[in-house]
């Protein structure tokens, strides 16, 4: 069995897309994988309610309660590692988790830590990707699922989706179209990882 732990900070729409895909496609039977827990750095994260409704264990670890990024990451690793055993190695999935993780965290889960970013990496790492793509005159934008390394929004690309930038797009309309593709490609990328 592989245990999937999903980290969120907000509404968790990508998390919900992954959970629904895992249920619909019976990842437990097909890949020996289950969504073991959903964790957040914010008690108000809307996605926690969805996870609870699905019978998935949830946990909150408030980053503001820690004096350093390293201290928070160490505590978060301890919570995640509760699900990490030789019989059930953990896959850590960042799904709108709005924290920059330390190199130690990335190294601890090397090859097992995924993220989705709302641009066609390596273009536009960081924040405000849709506005930056529009201002740069891009004809296409999109989303990228990648393995996480110590460098922000880098690491091997697992899956991408391309979305046209329309003449009347603003950051919100473009973001909405990109998000529909995120919901498609994140479960797909995880499916591919689990089937290896």
DSSP 169-187: --HHHHHHHHHHHHHHHHH
Catalytic residue among 108, 117, 130, 183: 117
DSSP 141-170: EEEEEEE--SSTT-S-EEEEEEEEPPTT--
Sign of the four-CA dihedral 170, 175, 181, 185: positive
117 is catalytic: yes
Q: Which sequence positions are flagged as catalytic?
A: 117
């Amino acid at each position: 069995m592989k245990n999937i732990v999903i980290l969120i900070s907000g509404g968790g729409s990508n998390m919900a897309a992954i959970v629904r895909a895992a249920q619909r496609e019976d990842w437990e039977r097909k890949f020996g994988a289950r969504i073991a827990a959903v964790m957040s750095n914010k008690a108000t994260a809307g996605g926690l309610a969805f996870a609870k409704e699905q019978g998935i264990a949830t946990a909150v670890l408030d980053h503001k309660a820690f004096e350093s990024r390293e201290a928070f990451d160490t505590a978060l690793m301890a919570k995640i590692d509760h699900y990490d055993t030789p019989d059930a190695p953990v896959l850590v999935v960042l799904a709108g988790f709005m924290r920059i993780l330390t190199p130690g965290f990335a190294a601890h889960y090397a090859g097992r830590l995924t993220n989705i970013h709302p641009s066609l990496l390596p273009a536009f790492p960081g924040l405000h990707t849709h506005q930056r793509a529009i201002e740069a005159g891009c004809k296409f934008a999109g989303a990228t699922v990648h393995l996480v390394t110590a460098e922000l929004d880098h690491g091997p690309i697992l899956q991408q989706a391309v979305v046209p930038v329309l003449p009347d797009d603003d950051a919100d309309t473009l973001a909405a179209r990109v998000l529909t593709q995120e919901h498609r490609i994140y479960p797909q990328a995880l499916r591919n990882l689990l089937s290896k």
